[in-house]
Amino acid sequence: MIQIGIVGAAGYTGGELLRILVNHPHADIRWAHSKSQAGKPVYATHTDLLGDTELTFSGEDIANLLQLEGLNVIFLCSGHNESRKFLAEYVVPASVKIIDLSTDFRDQSEGFVYGLPELQREQIKTATKIANPGCFATSIELALLPLAAAGLLTNDIHVSAITGSTGAGQSLSATTHFSWRNNNISIYKAFTHQHLKEIKMSLASLQEGFDKDVNFIPYRGDFTRGIMANLYTHFIGTLEEAVTLYQSFYASHPFTHVTTQDIDLKQVVNTNKCLIQLQKHGNNLLITSEIDNLTKGASGQAVQNMNLLFGLAEDAGLRLKAPSF
């Protein structure tokens, strides 16, 4: 069994991680830390876990928790800019692996490996520190990696993508509470979204010299979970050639599936899947990529990385069912 600690376990990604790990056949959650919820049952915050676990949130000094005998891995779920502070303050034993869900180390600094399995599976297997990708970045990168690997990103890329409200985190703000978000839609961070940096880094790692613009328009959706990203770029081949290229690239990856049929968000919500639909329109390839922002876009992918780190089947604990209706 893998002995696990979770920092920041009361938030959305921490809760999603707990939902997956309590049913993972090889996971033993040693502690789930939360300053705000210390001493309370996990199910008091993550109410859907009532009946699934009797775990309580730990408020104990993390320095002591990190030294527990047998601890194998910690997940950092405390939010952006917090992981760097955490690692500056606390000493994590060399025997304990780290999976960080924040933006702090996605540039692969300080020994972190970028944790997109479809891009760096072999590097992940031998790593000690993983920087989990962003949710928009995951969806967009998976839409483009086969083209980059073939050196076919020769023109600018245009992206329009919409995400659910959980992508903004658990803290309320003017654009996340129900009365504003319901029956509403808006653009934010057009052309400047923070995930663009890691997207361009990943594409350049496969297509040397990649320097095209990725014109990204993100939308806030009036639903809770899921990302639909629609991308188009110049492609001179046929639709059949594109499908063959994509299916070949993802043939050994258990969660990314390619189709020409129409797809919708309910097919991926609550799962670790990425569905990719391909269409050809004139000289443009239209790529639709869909994921659950909390699962494949965050905590599910973090567990996928844990599985690779410890030599487990990549899909262990992650064969999750979509709601369908």
Catalytically annotated residue among 55, 76, 135, 147: 135
Cα separation values, 255 from 121, 143, 148, Å: 13, 13, 19
Written as six digits, the tokens of 13 are 């990604």
Distance between CA 34 and CA 51 in Å, rounded? 20
What's the Cα-to-Cα distance from 60 to each of 46, 141, 174, 211, rounded to whole Å? 20, 39, 33, 48
Cβ partners under 8 Å of residue 314, min gap 6: 117, 121, 254, 304, 307, 308
* Cβ pair 64, 46 in contact under 8 A: no
DSSP code of residue 280: E
| Alpha helices per DSSP H over the chain | 12-21, 42-45, 62-65, 82-89, 117-125, 135-149, 178-181, 196-206, 239-249, 300-309
Are 6 and 56 within 8 A, CB to CB? no
CB 324 within 8 A of CB 268: no
Q: Is-catalytic flag, 274?
A: no
Residue 3, judged by CB atoms within 10 A of its CB (0-12, 13-18, 19+), counts as: middle
The C-alpha angle with vertex 135 and arms to 129 and 136, in degrees rounded to 5, equals 130
Cβ pair 261, 277 in contact under 8 A: yes
Would you tell me how many other CB atoms lie within 10 Å of the CB of residue 32? 28
Residue 7, classed as helix, strand or coil, is strand
Catalytic residues: 135
